[in-house]
Amino acid sequence: MLHLAVERFDYWTELSGRHLDLTDPDVVRVNAIDLRHAQRIRAGYGPDVTVLLDVEVVIDTDGSRARRRFAELVRRPGVSYAGTPAGLAGLIADIHAAGVADGVTLLPKDEQSMEHIAQHTVPWLESRYIAS
């Protein structure tokens, strides 16, 4: 199963209930420029290391509105997603299925995105047994 976490205001918490410890040397967070880069980073670690990919997100029920909000924000280089809750869930499922990373740390850029993650994205992943 996928590890799913969120970081907001420098507070990191795991949503998948697996109790990862970020101080453990066998748990690594990475910021990659794209998914192919993330996959190469993951391949550089052994199977005993849990690699979490950071993904900046802006979520809205209207994907166009999410992309407009995202375009107005200051962001860091790296993997990002602006769109709907279901679209984010699909991206996370693809990251898991393709072995790009062992999990993701979502970095919601606003409170509305955080609410959509909790109310829509996480339940979608749980209903498909991708996250628990």
Q: pLDDT tens digit string along 77-106? A: 899 999 999 999 999 989 988 999 999 999
Give the C-alpha separation, 58 to 37, whole Å.
22
Residue 21: CA atoms inside 13 Å, Cβ hemisphere, count? 4
Q: For residue 89, what is the enclosing H or E element?
A: helix 85-97
Q: Read off the pLDDT of each residue in 35-56 and give the average, rounded to a whole number.
A: 95
Give the C-alpha separation, 21 to 13, whole Å.
10
Give the C-alpha separation, 56 to 66, whole Å.
12
pLDDT of residue 76: 79
pTM above 0.85, yes or no: yes
Give the C-alpha separation, 120 to 78, whole Å.
24
CA distances from 2 to 88, 99, 131 (A): 14, 10, 5
